Amino acid sequence: MASKGRIVIDSERCKGCELCASVCPHHSIHMAETFNAKGYRPAVWVDTDEQCTGCATCAVICPDAAIKVYRQVALRAVPSGV
CATH topology for the 4-72 domain: Alpha-Beta Plaits (3.30.70)
pLDDT at position 80 over 90:
no
Q: Where are the domains of the chain?
A: 4-72
Q: How far apart are the first and last CA of the chain?
A: 22
17 and 63 in contact (C-beta within 8 Å)? yes
Sign for the pseudo-dihedral over CA of 69, 9, 49, 18: negative
pTM, full prediction: 0.83
- The mean pLDDT of 25-52, rounded to a whole number, is 95
What is the percent of the chain where pLDDT is above 70? 95
